[in-house]
């Protein structure tokens, strides 16, 4: 099972007018990072970065002047995504921008059946919140100390850890390992008890008692049952 954890940064909040300026994503295969990533900065093609947006992600118009436009990287992006599920936090926002960019250049939008929204999952799982990415990082012990600004690839990396925790991945694995350890311990205890049982019931005859027993067996003759057992 392939899933792409991704995030975008934009010039503003309106997908009809604003543009994507950064896309970051990483691939999970069966809920484990494969090591494949996608990261690109984009020229917004004449759309200026809103000051409020720049305060969040720290990306300026000057930073984007020499970057490619979306249509120049769309092939690489779609190849990376392929037929995987797309996982984002507040996915309605990110997918709104992605599909707006695709529509502008005549590409088909990505359907909602391929999208997983971790914000919706978090709200169901933790209805009392808060459920921002930072809050979920804190809840699940994910280190987000590098997040002085929002960044698409960094946020995707953090979200991957949060998503795995939301879906019970690491906890389930930990539980499995704990169960295996317990089975091993129980088996070890059982083995130790068996050994102790055998040791406890080993003969405790002194040499003199053993010699006396041997003499008794000799006097009983060749048909003595003890000789048949010993033989």
Annotated catalytic residues are 150
Q: Give the relative orientation of helices 169-200 and 152-166 as an angle to the nearest 10 degrees.
A: 50
Tell me: cis bond preceding 130? Omega within 30 of 0 counts: yes
Q: What is the DSSP string of the chain?
A: -EEEEEEEEESSS-TTT--EEEEEEEEEETTEEEEEEEEEE---TTPPPPHHHHHHH---HHHHTTSPPHHHHHHHHHHHHTT-EEEETTHHHHHHHHHHHHHHTTPPPPPGGGEEEHHHHHHHH-TT---SHHHHHHHHT---TT-SS--HHHHHHHHHHHHHHHTTHHHHHHHHHHHHHHHHHHHHHHHHHHHHHHHHTS----HHHHHHHHHHHHHH-TT-HHHHHH-
């Amino acid at each position: 099972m392939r899933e792409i954890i991704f995030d975008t940064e934009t010039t503003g909040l309106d997908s009809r007018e604003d543009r994507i300026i950064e896309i970051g994503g990483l691939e999970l295969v069966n809920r484990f990072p494969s090591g494949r990533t996608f990261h690109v900065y984009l020229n917004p093609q004449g759309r200026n970065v809103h000051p409020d947006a720049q305060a969040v992600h720290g990306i300026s118009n000057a930073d984007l002047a020499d970057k490619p436009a979306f249509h120049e990287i769309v092939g690489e992006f779609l190849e990376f995504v392929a037929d995987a599920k797309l996982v984002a936090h507040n996915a309605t926002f990110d997918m709104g921008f992605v599909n707006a960019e695709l529509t502008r250049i005549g590409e088909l939008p990505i359907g909602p059946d391929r999208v997983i929204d971790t914000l919706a999952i978090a709200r169901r799982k933790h209805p009392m919140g808060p459920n921002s990415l930072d809050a979920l990082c804190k809840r699940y012990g994910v280190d987000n100390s590098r997040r002085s600004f929002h960044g698409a690839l960094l946020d995707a990396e953090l979200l991957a850890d949060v998503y795995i925790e939301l879906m019970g991945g690491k906890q389930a694995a930990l539980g499995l390992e704990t169960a295996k350890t317990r089975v091993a311990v129980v088996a070890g205890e059982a083995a130790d008890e068996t050994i102790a049982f055998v040791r406890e019931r080993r003969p405790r005859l002194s040499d003199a008692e053993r010699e006396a027993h041997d003499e008794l067996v000799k006097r009983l003759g060749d048909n003595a049952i003890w000789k048949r057992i010993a033989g």
